[in-house]
Structure 1
């Protein structure tokens, strides 16, 4: 089955040679180019702090594009840019530290990017998109598992699609190695970071 199966069912026509599947018009209609609506989307992270609790944050400023192919999900693509200076964990001093050279060095490397290289359907409404994540001057492969949340026309007539998903990385793989030892053992900040995505995108004419 093709991309975005939740909102549609495939039709069939019977010919002399037998039953032939035809592409659902609703599914085909979702094929096209989309722009991520940052006002209704969220790109965030969760990381263990002081070995006992989690710190959550988001990047308020991001932009991106999607190309969705309802007939062949493997031809779908994504590109996202995130402004590092927009990091927000709810504590100003911590955000300043994250922007500093100890972590992201936002002045020298203001943008984090993801560019897809492959996409696949895992089953039902679950998909995996693989690509290259660049943080600072380091580019490494990353796979993100996503769930398609559906499509709708909003009150302004925009055709929207929604996805949510997550993945985990080791921040040290991208050169984010700052830490501090705790007196009781362990370290201040975990190397493992969970990245989360809640995406609403608008179809372009």
Structure 2
């Protein structure tokens, strides 16, 4: 009889441990102040910066179990604002974003890898101009010191424009594009 009780206690303990290690991830969205955009060299000297004003975002994340996390973004291409407004027609036109035909860009994660404290490699699919390529975001996600319901985020990756069907070496605008996410995730 004692053996049967001991087995029951052991099984119950294993079940409670199993449930504890599979906590429900929290649901997050980017704050309106978060910047999602890009930086690209123009004629080798100046930097063209773009920021998407309209973003739909969601992240399922539990810092205790980051391997089960996921993140998604949908960027409204026509909401792009540039630090050089004179380039808007060129960058939103057919040779680059082709905003009339492709109105959104999306990112969907497929893997979160822990690199260190609050440091992650997030692999996902970036879809832009009807082309989908795998990219890796080097990401810092850490609790905000001033706001406990938020996570500070800094994430970057580099893509090649022509991989997404954008004209190569056109108008002095560089081929390599730095994509940047900087701001905060807040609990939904």
**Structures share fold, TM-score greater than 0.5:** yes
Residue 190 of structure 1 corresponds to 174
| Contact 1:30–1:70 (CA under 8 A) maintained in structure 2 | no
Q: CA deviation at 1:70?
A: 2.5
| 3-state SS of paired residue (1:132) | strand
Residue 95 of structure 1 corresponds to 88
> Of the two, which has the highest radius of gyration?
2
Count of residues in correspondence between the two structures: 169
CA offset digits 1:54-97 (Å, max 9, x no partner): 22221111120000023321101000011111111133331122
Between Structure 1 and Structure 2, the one with more helix by share is 2
Residue 187 of structure 2 corresponds to 203
| Contact 1:153–1:159 (CA under 8 A) maintained in structure 2 | no
Q: CA deviation at 1:161?
A: 1.5
Pairing partner for 1:171 from 161, 174, 177: 161
Structure 2 counterparts to residues 100-115 of structure 1, below 5 A? 100-115=93-108
Pairing partner for 2:41 from 42, 48, 51: 48
Q: CA deviation at 1:153?
A: 7.0
Give every structure 1 segment of 4 or more consecutive aligned residues whose post-TM-superposition deviation is greater than 6 Å: none
Structure 2 counterparts to residues 14-163 of structure 1, below 5 A? 31-37=25-31, 39-151=32-144, 154=147, 159-163=149-153
Q: CA deviation at 1:199?
A: 3.4
Residue 4 of structure 1 corresponds to none
| 3-state SS of paired residue (2:144) | strand
- Structure 1, gaps ≥5 residues long: 1-21, 23-27, 181-186
Q: CA RMSD in A?
A: 2.4
- Structure 2, gaps ≥5 residues long: 1-16
Instruction: Report the Cα distance in structure 2 between the residues aligned to 1:81 and 1:31, rounded to whole angstroms.
Output: 21
| Contact 1:117–1:130 (CA under 8 A) maintained in structure 2 | yes
Instruction: Report the Cα distance in structure 2 between the residues aligned to 1:178 and 1:190, rounded to whole angstroms.
Output: 8
